Amino acid sequence: MGLKGYRGFPGGFKAYRKAFPTVELSWWHRVGDLRTISRLRALAPEGFRFSVVGHKHLTFCPTGEERRTLRRFLRRFRRFGDKAGAVRLLVPEVAPEAFAAWLDLLEEVLKEVGPVPLAFQAPGDLKPLLRSRGHVLVNEGGGPFLYLVDPAEVPEGEGYLYRSHPSQEEASALHS
């Protein structure tokens, strides 16, 4: 289990890395810069994982600009190397046919940049398409790994669990 971000954690990342094995970084407004990624990787202990959420400039329309944005975003994420967790993509309301074409583009880009574990937070009408292609859905089981964000219940399985704030029991366990 980790938190959505480490800013505001007492002692910063150096303290955070001792309390949690993973963190979800927000790349919503901008993709992480190379220097920051290198610094975080160097500070993180063996086994630590960085996940990211974003990016607001993804349009989920299969265009040349979208291909460039995806390529840059995913290549940058891969710079975490063996400390890379997964990428959570927030999908807006979009026509299923257009989204299917975007998923085709995504698969092409992944062939170029290499594998990246992805978890989709998507409207209900897009979930069957994502499931049929074997993608992970946020807060749902049945995929190759779990990606949970503030879930009401935690199902069995391996993957990532992020909370906005630790529960009272989790906070107590962290400080005992």
pLDDT of residue 172: 37
CA proximity to 76, closest of 14, 27, 43, 149: 27
Other CB atoms within 10 Å distance of the CB of residue 41: 16
pLDDT of residue 1: 84
- Which fold would CATH assign to domain 2-174? TIM Barrel (3.20.20)
pLDDT of residue 57: 85
All residue ranges of the chain with pLDDT < 70 are: 166-176
pLDDT of residue 62: 87
For residue 125, the 8-state DSSP code is: G
Q: Distance between CA atoms of 135 and 117, rounded to whole angstroms? A: 9
Note the pTM of the prediction, 2 decimals: 0.91
Instruction: Order the strands of the 84-90 sheet from edge to edge.
Output: 136-137, 118-121, 84-90, 49-53, 22-26, 2-4, 159-163, 146-149
The per-residue pLDDT for range 49-98, each reduced to its tens digit, is 999 998 888 989 889 999 999 999 999 999 999 999 999 999 999 999 99
pLDDT of residue 55: 84
pLDDT of residue 106: 97
